[in-house]
Copies of this chain bind each other. A is one copy, B any other.
Amino acid sequence: MKKHKLFTPGPTSIPDEVLLEMAKPIMHHRTEEFLSIAKEVFEGLKYLFQTKNDVLILSSSGTGAMEASITNLFSKGEKIIVINGGKFGERFVEIGKAYGLNVFDIKVEWGKTLKKEELEKIIEENKDAKGVFVNLCETSTTTHFDVKGYGEIISKYDDMVLVVDAISSLGAIPCYMDDWKIDCLITGSQKAFMLPPGLAFISLSEKAWNKTINSDLPKYYFDLKKYKKTLEKFDFPFTIPVSLIVGLNKTIKIIKEYTLEKIWEEHRKRAEATRKAISAMGLSLLSSSPSDAVTGVLLPEGIDGEQIIKFIRKSYGISIAGGQDKLKGKIVRISHLGWQDEFDVLTAITALGIGLEKSGYKVNIGKGIETAKEILFS
C-alpha cells in the first residue's frame, strides 16, 4: 500500500479531519450558520497574519491577490520597485507592466537574496517609487528575503508601501505584518494553511488603504474596497468557495491550538534537518539564503531532476517538486509546509537518496538520516 505524501510547495497535505469537514453537505453562504463561521475565520486570519487589520478572502489563486495588490494601490504610470529574485518576483514585474506601471526591476541572481543595505541604496535613488514588492519566500529558488529589514527602511517614506507575497510561507515561518511594517500581505490556501487551492488572502495597512482611495487602475472582481464593505457583515461581494471556508475554519482552529510559534519552530527544525542531511549526503543547496518553508537541492552534473521526481512518485507515491524555468531538471525542492511531522523528513530524504541512486549517483542515505535525526529529535 502506498501512502501518498506531498512535499511539494503547494498543494500540501490536508489533515484527514479537515478533508472530512469539507465533505459534509454544503451550506448556503448567506445563512446565519455560515456567517458565524465566516466571523470566526476573519478573526482567526488576523492571528495568522499577526495584524490588527482586516484580512480579505478572495476566490482565486494567489496570483489574483498579487494582481489585487497592484490594481488597488497604484495608479497608471506610477513607479514601483520589484525585488525580482525568481519566478514569483518576475510575476510582480509582469503584472505591474500589464497595468501600465513604471517598474524598476531589481534583478537578483536566482538563489541569492538582497541585503537590506542594498535596497536602502536603491530606494534613495528612487524616492519617487510608490511601492516595493518582495516575496518573503521566493518559492522557485527557495530563498528567504529579509522582509523585516526592508520594512524598517520603507516605513520611513510616507508615500511608499511594502507589498509582500507570503503565498508559500505565511504560517510556516515568522511573519509579523504589523510589527514588521508590512503594508500589504498576501497568501494562499494551499500551503501552510493546509487546504486545497482556491482561496487567496490579502491584508492592507492603513497606509495601504489610503492608497486605494486615489488608485485609478481598472478593477472589478478584485476591487478590494468592495470586499471591505461586505466584510462589515462578515459577507463577501461574490460567491465564496463555501467548502474551503468551512475547511479553513477547521485548520485555523488547529493552528491556534498548536500556536504559530510552535508551528514555526517545527518548520524551522524540519528545514534545518533537511539542509544538514543534504550536506551530509554530499549535495549542495540551491539558495545561499534558504527559506525554512522549502529546501532547494542542487543536483550533481548530469543528473535529471525530472526523472528522479517521476521515479519516486511512481514507485512510492512521494511527491517532491522540480525546478521551474531555467532551473528545470537541475534541482529538486522539498517543502516543509503544513501537515508534516519529523518522520516525514526521513521519508523525503530517503526517497531523494533512492532516486539519486537509481539515476546512478550513489549517496550515503544513512549519514543523511543520522544527521537529520539529531536535529529533529533533540
The interface of chain A, by Cβ under 8 A from chain B, is: 4, 6, 8, 10-11, 13-14, 19-20, 22-29, 31-32, 59-64, 67, 94-95, 98-100, 188, 190, 196-198, 217-223, 238-244, 310, 313, 319, 321
In whole angstroms, how far apart are the Cα atoms of A241 and B62 in the complex?
A: 11
In whole angstroms, how far apart are the Cα atoms of A127 and B242 in the complex?
A: 43
* CB–CB B19/A98 < 8 A: no
List chain B residues, Cβ under 8 A from A63. Answer: 220-221, 238
* CB–CB B98/A218 < 8 A: yes
Q: Contact check: which of B196, B240, B313 meets A241 at CB < 8 Å?
A: B196
Q: Contact check: which of B6, B28, B67, B196 meets A11 at CB < 8 Å?
A: B28
Q: Does more than half of chain A's interface fall in helix, strand or loop, or is it mixed?
A: loop
List chain B residues, Cβ under 8 A from A24. Answer: 19
* CB–CB A67/B221 < 8 A: yes
* CB–CB A197/B59 < 8 A: yes
In whole angstroms, how far apart are the Cα atoms of A219 and B67 in the complex?
A: 9
List chain B residues, Cβ under 8 A from A14. Answer: 25-26
* Contact A242 B98, CB 8 Å, known A22-B22, A28-B6: no
Question: What are 17 contact pairs spanning A and B, CB under 8 A?
Answer: A10-B239, A11-B26, A13-B25, A19-B24, A19-B25, A27-B319, A60-B221, A61-B221, A61-B239, A62-B239, A63-B220, A63-B238, A67-B221, A95-B220, A98-B220, A196-B241, A241-B241
In whole angstroms, how far apart are the Cα atoms of A213 and B217 in the complex?
A: 22
